[in-house]
Structure 1
């Protein structure tokens, strides 16, 4: 399942801010006599309530501002809501939504000719220190300045990068990381191990001997 690709609609829809049940009634399929549309709207609202905050936090780390993050997440919600009956047929709704969110982030960065903003934050540098668990903090600070940590992070495979951001920068438990990415908890931890080793090798520092 780790290698499976989530297939999403390649057409970029008109961005529409999500308004929950009202939005689905206004823009979704005609309201049926048995209340199907209302029930679909409630399921979307429940799903959105569970994941919206983390989507915003992740988007903020990538686009670098609250307003831009809200724009990205609104666009993601609009796409989910527009095709919600189809989304519910997916093997993992959380994974499908994560793929859409990442598409919207990529489109925003491309539209604004920007690189992901995460590497410029103090929280990210602290997270990578924790990831590498390196004892010589002064030496690592020098490495950050002289080598350019972003190049090492950006060279991580996509799933290792996502795990690093979710698990260390956003402090998401392994079980939730697994849910978002549509993988097993054991695979999350495997990605962490491989990311640690790769970063340690790229930065020429000692890899940690213990795992969290």
Structure 2
């Protein structure tokens, strides 16, 4: 079965952008990663369309771009047009504040740890598949996950002061 490149782009771009956003936490950087991966895929289109289709190749290209050193500087620069609004009172604002805090914490993780968390908990991939994508062993994936979760838990656990105050 031959999949046309244009059809693939139309049908799978939203899912690929979501994957890029989960890795970066930034819509514009996710668009850049996805676009670069699609350019690479287009160049090799005849060779990557196989039994699994082109999506695994494109996802791996996005992941490799995210993990590359070339992107490290642009990833840490986060210009904003306006300062964020103060959260409103109520349940929704509390949930949004919690989600925002989690995104901020995810951004502090080293790239490989963050990639493991995204691939495991957002993309629901098994350790063996994550290891294949990252080019490491499943044990390394588990170590990255352990350290990432340990850092996230430590950041989310309130500090207890003497006298039981937080």
Instruction: State whether structure 2 residue 144 is matched by structure 1 residue 191.
Output: yes
Unaligned runs of 5+ in 1: 1-18, 23-44, 85-92, 115-140, 206-212
2:116 paired residue number:
163
1:79 paired residue number:
40
Q: CA RMSD in A?
A: 4.6
Number of equivalent positions = 124
- For normalisation by structure 1, the TM-score amounts to 0.41
Unaligned runs of 5+ in 2: 46-56, 81-93, 159-166
CA contact (8 A) 2:37 2:58 kept: no
Deviation digits for residues 74-97 of structure 1 (CA, Å, limit 9, x no counterpart): 43121344378xxxxxxxx78972
1:100 paired residue number:
65
Distance of 1:52 and 1:179 partners within structure 2: 23
1:148 paired residue number:
101
CA contact (8 A) 1:166 1:177 kept: yes
CA contact (8 A) 1:156 1:195 kept: yes
CA contact (8 A) 2:127 2:142 kept: yes
Distance of 2:18 and 2:112 partners within structure 1: 18
Residue 153 of structure 1: how far off its partner (Å): 2.0
| Partner-residue secondary structure (3-state), 1:160 | helix
CA contact (8 A) 1:94 1:179 kept: no
Deviation digits for residues 104-124 of structure 1 (CA, Å, limit 9, x no counterpart): 98899799947xxxxxxxxxx
Higher relative contact order structure (alpha carbons within 8 Å, sequence separation ≥ 6): 1
Residue 102 of structure 1: how far off its partner (Å): 5.6
